[in-house]
Amino acid sequence: MANTPRRPLLNPVLRFTKDPQPEGVSGGGKNAASIMTDRLPTQRRALSRQFRDLAARAEQQPRFDGCVVLYAAMFDDSLAPSYTPKDLFQATRSARLIAPYRSGYLVEIAADQLSQYANLVETSGAIKDQVDISRIEAVRFFEGADAGRAASLDAIWDAAPETDAGKAFVIWLMPLRGRDAAEHLIQRFAALRDGAIVPPPPLLTGVDVGADTDVPAAMRRAVRAAAASGDRIGLAMRTYRQHRRARTTVLVPSRSALDQLIASGTVFRIEPVQPINSTSPGEGREPDRPLPGDLTTLPIVGVVDGGLTAASYLPAEAWRAPPLIADGAADAPHGNQVTSLVVQGHDWNNNLTLPPLYCQVGTVQAVPKRDARVIVDTQDFVAYLDGAMGANPETRVWNFSLNQPESCDLEAVSPLGHDIAMLARKHRVLPIISIGNKPGTRLQPPGDCEAAITVGGRVHDDNGDPGGECPVSLTGPGPSSMLKPDLSHFSHVRALGGVLTRGSSFATSLTSPLAAHTMERVREASPDLVKALLLHNSDGMNFDPALGFGTPTAASLPWECRPGFVTLQWRASLRPNAAYYWELPIPESLKRTGKLKGIGALTAILNPHPMVTDYAGPNYFSVRLETALQYQRGRNINNTSKFNNLLGSLDTGKVTEQEARSLDHKWSPVRHHKKAFHRVSFEGDSLRAYARIYARDLYLYGYTGSDEIPQTETVFVLSLGTGDENDDVYNELRDQLGAFVETAVVEADIDVDNEGF
């Protein structure tokens, strides 16, 4: 019988319990200094001509209660949220911003006001109007071709999968804000049922829960409720009436019908339905290794794949969902391989530096074989996952070794990536998702899920340690400033049958057990905290598009402090319009020379929900986090103490918005700073951790001011040390913090047992 070996846990990660000291800050705003004076006269003339031309052509455009949709493109130096043209386009002038789009904004505007806008931009003397006029590059109508984004309608039609009723597409309805305009859109969309669009079958009608007593009641209820939700087009219209946004799958019977759908003006975005695939599996015998006798006490990983048929791993199955894909069509060989690595990947690959972590699995049979000709509708897939996650709340980590074959659009988060993020936040689970394999140019959906740990591939060296990038795995980064992959792991491995195989699927399978054990070992663990601990424990110094932040080290587990280091974790609820500070004493070992010398790492993850929207393209995130570890030196102009960043990012206030997004990934919800510092002069006896939340595009959520934004949950992990195991940094800081620190690890795991070591 195999048992997970015990190891001494001498220095568990510590939980920091001190409350922050918030300080109010005043935000910037539009003023005379914001006007691009050199450009203003030119833009007055250019925009007035464009508005007059639009007024002359408005009769030929789709209208909703007399309103048309414009695209206002901004200059590259005017993309910062403080320059949003909400003052020029406001409701008192019969205009509203409705969504970010490309390098600007979509505007819902009364067609009979276009001529008035031509006069307004020529003559307005209001400061805020002049700021907007000088920063808008051009205005034009939103055209039908814009709905396809970079692809032509011919390319979209050719790429869509065929069904008996037509080709399958995902569409987003135009997010109009006016109530009467929205009702007009609903009527026009409903009229398209007469030949242009056909609804797919109701959700989950193919999932049989029958009278099977092994299916949890919660899963049975979820499947039946989804099937009873009715016609998908009707469901989309109900959702749109309530939220002014809706996405649905439609079937389009002909190429001319697609033209009719686009010409209606009801569609904001359209994509072909994408298949969901696993990587090609190998074949071979089943393993003859025994599994641990205490397997039922170990964490469970939900494995969303091709199912489990390998008899040797049925004892590791904690639960099984009713299949979404029938047995004959499911990719069971791949599901078996992934399961073997989740359960005992370290046994299959004992030549690699992997911690001995066994797991149970929950089986979710949802991925078809490549040649099965089964179309997995993403709405079905998501509704099915919703039921499975709700029925198995004890399963906190979910493995997705699957991808859709098209590269992610760097300007927009994929529907599947967004939907899995919504499920993860709803059910408080952590998805572990593969980045995808070549052929392709960059990561594939749902690897762009913000709530997930996205895993890329990595080869190993002759010693079994992490090596360079995998030649099979795709690379990042992700859309909307996301830093993807988050982590990388061994992708050339041995799996079920003893075969050597490779791909990001298997790197993902090796990451899931570590996440599941971290979730179990850490007190009050949240998915974001587990993600932060794994990123924090990785071996990279900086983000790499192929390797992410690196591979979690096997020398110390995420809930342990490495020798010569101390690690603190804490969480906070933050609001805009305040800067937050946590004061920390400087450990003696870091200042022994009279100057700061050591190594530090600060990882912070922001939960951006509910301030995200899949309608916002590159502006997917409407909140962002700025954080740093700071030391005191010098004085400010007002003679207050000056603090400088010891660990921190680019000073985004001194570069353009475009530079901040490209260089610093300014709007990424993950901040990870790691640095060695030597001979840093400092004053005082303390460091301080700093954090601040910023927001944009409040109109998307109906907010008029940042004081209406709900609190934003954020987790932090901070490590400081010298790297010398003879320096007792751990006890130095623990003793200095006293009552403001406690162990972050479940007490039963802090049991020093040296037997066998």
Alpha helices in 392-493 (DSSP H): 415-427
Task: Please report whether residue 108 resides in a domain.
Answer: yes
> Does residue 182 sit in the same domain as residue 102?
no
- The domain of 98 spans 32-142
If one counts every other C-beta atom within 10 angstroms of the C-beta of residue 256, the result is 11
Whole-number pLDDT of residue 496: 79
Provide the CATH number for the domain around residue 597: 2.60.120.380
CB-based contacts of 40, cutoff 8 Å, min separation 6: 130, 133, 134
Structural domain ending residue among the three candidates 111, 142, 173: 142
> Does residue 138 sit in the same domain as residue 232?
no
Cβ atoms of residues 532 and 604 within 8 Å? yes
Whole-number pLDDT of residue 169: 95
Exposed / middle / buried, residue 598 (Cβ in 10 Å: 0-12, 13-18, 19+) = buried
Structural domain ending residue among the three candidates 98, 123, 142: 142
Distance CA 719, CA 568 (A): 6
> Does residue 404 sit in the same domain as residue 495?
yes
> Does residue 596 sit in the same domain as residue 524?
no
Task: Please report whether residue 285 resides in a domain.
Answer: no
Task: Please report whether residue 656 resides in a domain.
Answer: yes
Bridge partners, 71 (sequence order): 106, 140
> Does residue 119 sit in the same domain as residue 211?
no
Three-state SS at 522: strand
Distance CA 351, CA 5 (A): 17
Three-state SS at 717: strand
pTM, to two decimals = 0.92
Task: Please report whether residue 289 resides in a domain.
Answer: no
Distance CA 502, CA 133 (A): 54
Alpha helices in 590-738 (DSSP H): 657-664, 729-737
> Does residue 233 sit in the same domain as residue 105?
no
> Does residue 108 sit in the same domain as residue 168?
no
Three-state SS at 421: helix
> Does residue 136 sit in the same domain as residue 175?
no
| Residue for token pair 């609804």 | 199
What's the one-letter identity of residue 421? A
Provide the CATH number for the domain around residue 530: 3.40.50.200
CB-based contacts of 594, cutoff 8 Å, min separation 6: none
Residue 221 phi, psi (nearest 5): -65, -40
Cβ atoms of residues 548 and 454 within 8 Å? yes
Task: Please report whether residue 288 resides in a domain.
Answer: no
If one counts every other C-beta atom within 10 angstroms of the C-beta of residue 105, the result is 24
Whole-number pLDDT of residue 2: 41
**Angle at Cα 334 formed by Cα 330 and Cα 340, nearest 5°?**
125
Cβ atoms of residues 687 and 646 within 8 Å? yes
Whole-number pLDDT of residue 222: 85
Distance CA 485, CA 487 (A): 5
> Does residue 95 sit in the same domain as residue 46?
yes
Number of domains making up the chain = 4
Q: What is the 3-state secondary structure (H, E, C) of 601-631?
A: EEEEEECCCCCECCCCHHHCECEEEEEEEEE
> Does residue 667 sit in the same domain as residue 729?
yes
53 sits in which H/E element: helix 40-57
> Does residue 389 sit in the same domain as residue 481?
yes
If one counts every other C-beta atom within 10 angstroms of the C-beta of residue 361, the result is 28
Bridge partners, 494 (sequence order): 500
Task: Please report whether residue 126 resides in a domain.
Answer: yes
Distance CA 304, CA 745 (A): 29
Task: Please report whether residue 111 resides in a domain.
Answer: yes
What stretches in the chain show pLDDT beneath 70?
Answer: 1-9, 26-28, 211-213, 279-289, 497-498, 649-658, 660-663, 748-757
> Does residue 477 sit in the same domain as residue 587?
no
Exposed / middle / buried, residue 722 (Cβ in 10 Å: 0-12, 13-18, 19+) = middle
Whole-number pLDDT of residue 635: 85
Whole-number pLDDT of residue 305: 95
Task: Please report whether residue 268 resides in a domain.
Answer: yes
